[in-house]
Structure 1
Amino acid sequence: MEKFYNILALVGVGLYWFLVAGVTLRVVLKRRAVSVSLAWLMIIYIIPVLGVIFYFLFGELNLGKKRAERAKQMFSPYGEWFDQLHDCQAHLPALMSPQITKIDDLCNHRMSIPALCGNDLSLQRSPNEILRSIIQDIDQAENHIRAVFYIWHNGGLVDAVSSALIQAAKRGVTVRILLDSAGSHRFFKSHWIKMMEQEGIDITQALEVSPWRIFLRRLDLRQHRKIIVIDDKVAYTGSMNMVDPAFFKQNAGVGQWVDVMVRITGPTVNVIAAIHAWDWEVETGDRIMPSFPECIIPSQEKALPIQVVPSGPGMPENLIQQVLTLAINQATKSVCITTPYFVPSDELLEEFKMTAQRGVIVEIIIPKNNDSLMVQWASRSYYDELLNAGIKIYEFDGGLLHTKSVVVDGLYCLVGTVNIDMRSLWLNFELTLAVDNEDFTAEMVELLDSYKALSTVVKKEKWKKRSMRYRFLERVFYLFSPLL
């Protein structure tokens, strides 16, 4: 009997090491950042058995068989829809700055999405302003409302938004809402779901979290876009989930979340609606394409070119990181970045450092206190490199700074849902806008200046005096930074 157990143990060890060798080979053969591969190899070797399971769950970009097949089939018809925008009179490369033209070229060649002119933008900074504006536009809806959010959380003015949607549905407006299953899990358990569905509102869970699906697709792949489109005439996107900060994560110890949204009218609205249609079809299989934009340009003075940059599984890989790199690389005077989660890829980190080292003022504004301790310590592990390159770091004291933006030379900007971390850049469904307009960018500069006024500058000399315990925690979480 003892001999049997010894043989069984040897067979078990042999099978385990065979499995580890197989997973190691799979990690090595995948063409991705070396730091990501090394982080996974460390986890696989340090955490027996569980490390292998974690890799199968979270190690590869697996959208799931049905969604992946849909996305593959969708690329051609959506590409044709986007391609028609080139014949629209709102596509006016001659009215674009050289910087945005290069971004337009990149997005054109990779996804056939051109930058379009003839838009109006409104930068909305406070939760009350944002939510009341959305309610007012919902109350004016006549045909349909499309929405996709990572988090939809009951309480405060969000309940008023839900009520407005119910009233819209009662008067015959078609309402389709796509919500991330993990981010909005509490909302799916609330009484609002039944009330909204009773009035015919179509609410769908994106990337449903289920124990039966754990090996069928990557579990931490999330629908992170924030979009609402009304009658294909008005759209909102930005960093704010459908939450009222006064009623959201009050016990997290980080203060209220600080966000912005952009209200858009003009032909870019239809492009954003097409991104919602893409997400809806990936999840449900139903194709509901938006109307084609009218593309009327009132005057060249109101050109306001906007490039819509989406990313996610099934879309061109690495597009948003390429746009970020291209925008920063063109800076001649200044770059100011806001992000709640700063865990950059090796490529972006080097781009930030090189930009500062060629004499451009580079500033990064991040929250002093973060709702993710792992991300907070991982972020701080980059401070030495950034400070040594001459980059100025601001730690925001006025709450959890959740705004995601990049302002370049005070002339144009990027604003949207994208964090400076591997999850946003490589994994999640995201959306950012590249805005080529000095007036709008001046508003962004003013906003970022207000963030700086509520921040503490990280001093190089003081930072070097931090304790060994802090240094140890930074290094530990730095090892996992490619996976955060």
Structure 2
Amino acid sequence: MEFVKDNLLYVLFGLNYFLALSATITLLFKKINPTKTLTYIIVLLVFPFFGLIVYYLFGQDYRKTKLFNRKRVLNQSIIAKIQNELEIDFNTISEIDELLEEKSKLIPLLYNSEQSKLTLKNDVKVIGSGDEKLELLLKDLDQAKSHIHLEYFIFKDDKTGKEVLDILYQKAKDGLEVKLIIDDVGSSISRKHISQLKNSGVEIYKFMPVLFSRFTGKMNYRDHRKILIIDGKIGYVGGINISNNYLNKRNKRFWRDAHLRIYGEAVHQLQILFFTTWDFVSNGELKVDESHFPKLEIDSKIPLQIAASGPDTDWSNIMEAIFVAITNAEEFIYLTTPYFIPNDEIVTALQVATRSNIEVKMILPKKSDSWIAEYATNSYIEKLLTAGVKVYQYHKGFIHSKTMVVDDVFSSVGTANMDYRSFNINFEVNALIYNKDVSSEVKKMFKEDLCNSSQVDLEEWQKRSTKNKFLEGLARLMAPLL
């Protein structure tokens, strides 16, 4: 003990490097992406103590350790029955395949990965702003008759949040089932309002609570989804959270975003996804009955799949869906994302597509809400431009939309950014739509955003300052950890 006291610093450093070497050996056995492995090894060996913290927070593979388990929900008899009822026969899938000109290869991909059923009877409204979403949402909430389920990354009790909370209070008092999941890092609801929610009958849980949520940023596996379900009939999904920041009438900086309002069978898929998260946050206190999955009378036929990914899924479903959509494109690919820190597979797929004479256009924000994400994103632009990808920077405000359109027949709107965190770490959800009319609306939104964007010229981009290039390189080195 005397030796330890006299040489405490050396002992601590020795312990640090023993643990760092153990972690390095573990990383080598995992056989993960070489770039990511090298980044972790550098951080572990060059930055004592800090490297161990980073590895502990980012390096755990929850997809393999199964900390998050969906089977308890998916095996319930009621949910199994709903899944069977959503089954579409082979002839119908063949018709859709013919209509969509082979783009429906995504359907078996997701079905085989996560039992994500293709739903056919849906009506879909594309929403282009937080203002529009709030107006529709408040009306739908006010007309709720049975239950309201919410799962949000960001839910703040500002003016926007209070408008939603007031309806939740009243609906719970009226006897409706109201369940709310908020991410503990992204959301901010005061103890006063949480107490009011509970007293009125609202069931609320924080997703993976942390000790100092204000200072943790994005350091843990977070619930990045934005899901709202009303009476098992109406569902909202997309990039718009509940906060003043997402409304242009309450935000000094113009905010461009994309969301969907869905009425139909796909809402049942959102409901099942919500229940898997609820089962986790409530430690298995889950009661499901058939009122959560009502029969729907709807004539509209819009094929739609709900793609979910996160530590609770066996595969990176959303990334794989985007990859397959890109590699099956024949005419054009239009992408919008606020953060572009992709893996090698996505970069290669985009490069091959544009070199195969497919028009590839991408909209990124000119000014991000995160300087390190901005520099990391910018580090990929030259490589894309060199391959022929047309890159545009949105300058009207901040563009937060996460959309994709391929060949006028396939579109995606959801919560996932084009970055490693969305593909592998966070809980995400995207709606994949196989419909020309909806794809046309998403394409129209993209074209409108192009009018408020400036195209990046390769020669001009190469002239950017040495300082910017250095910061981009530094940010890119940290990209696997962002």
Report the Cα distance in structure 2 between the residues aligned to 1:90 and 1:237, rounded to whole angstroms: 28
Does the Cα contact within 8 Å between 1:325 and 1:348 map onto a contact in 2? yes
Report the Cα distance in structure 1 between the residues aligned to 2:465 and 2:258, rounded to whole angstroms: 36
**Alignment: residue pair count:** 472
Report the Cα distance in structure 1 between the residues aligned to 2:63 and 2:94, rounded to whole angstroms: 39
State yes or no: 1:41 paired with 2:33. no
Q: What is the aligned partner in structure 1 of residue 21 from structure 2?
A: 21
Q: What is the aligned partner in structure 2 of residue 234 from structure 1?
A: 234
Amino acid across the alignment from 1:28: L
State yes or no: 1:395 paired with 2:390. no
SS at 1:369 equivalent? coil
Q: What is the aligned partner in structure 1 of residue 196 from structure 2?
A: 195
SS at 1:92 equivalent? helix
RMSD across aligned C-alpha pairs, in angstroms?
Answer: 2.9
Report the Cα distance in structure 1 between the residues aligned to 2:33 and 2:74, rounded to whole angstroms: 26
Does the Cα contact within 8 Å between 1:311 and 1:429 map onto a contact in 2? yes
Does the Cα contact within 8 Å between 1:258 and 1:403 map onto a contact in 2? yes
The structural deviation recorded for 1:5 is: 7.4
Report the Cα distance in structure 1 between the residues aligned to 2:200 and 2:55, rounded to whole angstroms: 43
The structural deviation recorded for 1:156 is: 3.2
- Find the partner of 1:167 among 167, 170, 179: 170
The structural deviation recorded for 1:61 is: 2.9
Q: 1:275 to 1:5 in 2, by over 3 A?
A: closer
Does the Cα contact within 8 Å between 2:87 and 2:118 map onto a contact in 1? no
State yes or no: 1:176 paired with 2:179. yes
Q: Which piece of structure 1 moves more, 54-63 or 34-43?
A: 54-63
Q: 1:156 to 1:86 in 2, by over 3 A?
A: closer
State yes or no: 1:453 paired with 2:454. no
Does the Cα contact within 8 Å between 1:312 and 1:427 map onto a contact in 2? yes
The structural deviation recorded for 1:167 is: 1.8
Does the Cα contact within 8 Å between 2:130 and 2:248 map onto a contact in 1? no
- Share of identical aligned residues, percent? 29
1:64-83 matched pairs, under 5 angstroms:
68=67, 70-71=69-70, 73-77=72-76, 80-81=80-81, 83=83
Q: 1:21 to 1:133 in 2, by over 3 A?
A: same
Report the Cα distance in structure 1 between the residues aligned to 2:477 and 2:355, rounded to whole angstroms: 26
Amino acid across the alignment from 1:468: T
Amino acid across the alignment from 1:140: Q
Report the Cα distance in structure 2 between the residues aligned to 1:412 and 1:151, rounded to whole angstroms: 28
Does the Cα contact within 8 Å between 2:113 and 2:315 map onto a contact in 1? no
The structural deviation recorded for 1:411 is: 1.8
Q: Which piece of structure 1 moves more, 46-55 or 365-374?
A: 46-55
Amino acid across the alignment from 2:222: R
Q: 1:386 to 1:452 in 2, by over 3 A?
A: same
Amino acid across the alignment from 1:225: R
State yes or no: 1:113 paired with 2:116. yes
Amino acid across the alignment from 2:235: A
TM, length-normalised to structure 1: 0.90
Does the Cα contact within 8 Å between 1:90 and 1:117 map onto a contact in 2? no
Q: Which piece of structure 1 moves more, 371-380 or 78-87?
A: 78-87
Q: What is the aligned partner in structure 2 of residue 331 from structure 1?
A: 329
The structural deviation recorded for 1:82 is: 6.2
CA deviation vs aligned residue, 1:35-64 (integer Å, no higher than 9, x gap): 111111111122112112221122113489
Amino acid across the alignment from 1:308: I
The structural deviation recorded for 1:95 is: 3.7
CA deviation vs aligned residue, 1:162-215 (integer Å, no higher than 9, x gap): 11222212221110010001101x21x253222222211111101111379x9x
Amino acid across the alignment from 1:199: S
Amino acid across the alignment from 2:174: R
The structural deviation recorded for 1:294 is: 3.2
Q: What is the aligned partner in structure 2 of residue 122 from structure 1?
A: 125
Q: Which piece of structure 1 moves more, 283-292 or 325-334?
A: 283-292
Report the Cα distance in structure 2 between the residues aligned to 1:155 and 1:445, rounded to whole angstroms: 33
Q: What is the aligned partner in structure 1 of residue 156 from structure 2?
A: 153
Q: 1:453 to 1:90 in 2, by over 3 A?
A: farther
Q: 1:141 to 1:378 in 2, by over 3 A?
A: same
State yes or no: 1:101 paired with 2:104. yes
Q: 1:98 to 1:75 in 2, by over 3 A?
A: farther
Gaps of 5+ in 2: none
The structural deviation recorded for 1:126 is: 2.4
